[in-house]
């Protein structure tokens, strides 16, 4: 498996991930969701 990062971050707040999703409801509406995650959180909150 290829590593996600060539070098591990050495300082806080260097790597963040942001993802967007959009879902259409059966009633004709739209839900838009966004999630943000800090790289260091996988070590702080396993």
User: Which DSSP string corresponds to the chain?
Assistant: ---SSSS---STTS-EEEEEEEEE-TTS-EEEEEEEEETTHHHH--
Pairwise CA distance, residues 22 & 17, whole Å? 17
The whole-number pLDDT of residue 13 equals: 85
Query: What's the pTM value of the predicted model, to 2 decimals?
Result: 0.52
Residue 32 has pLDDT above 90, yes or no: yes
14: Cβ contacts below 8 Å, ≥ 6 apart: 39
The percent of residues in the chain predicted with pLDDT above 90, rounded, is: 41
Q: What is the pLDDT of residue 22?
A: 97
Structural domain that includes position 9: 1-46
Burial class of residue 39, CB neighbours in 10 A (0-12, 13-18, 19+): middle
Count of domains in the chain?
1
């Amino acid at each position: 498996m290829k590593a996600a990062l060539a070098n591990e971050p050495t300082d806080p707040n260097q790597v963040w991930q942001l993802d967007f999703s959009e879902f259409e409801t059966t009633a004709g509406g739209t839900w838009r969701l966004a999630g943000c995650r800090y790289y260091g959180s996988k070590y702080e909150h396993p």
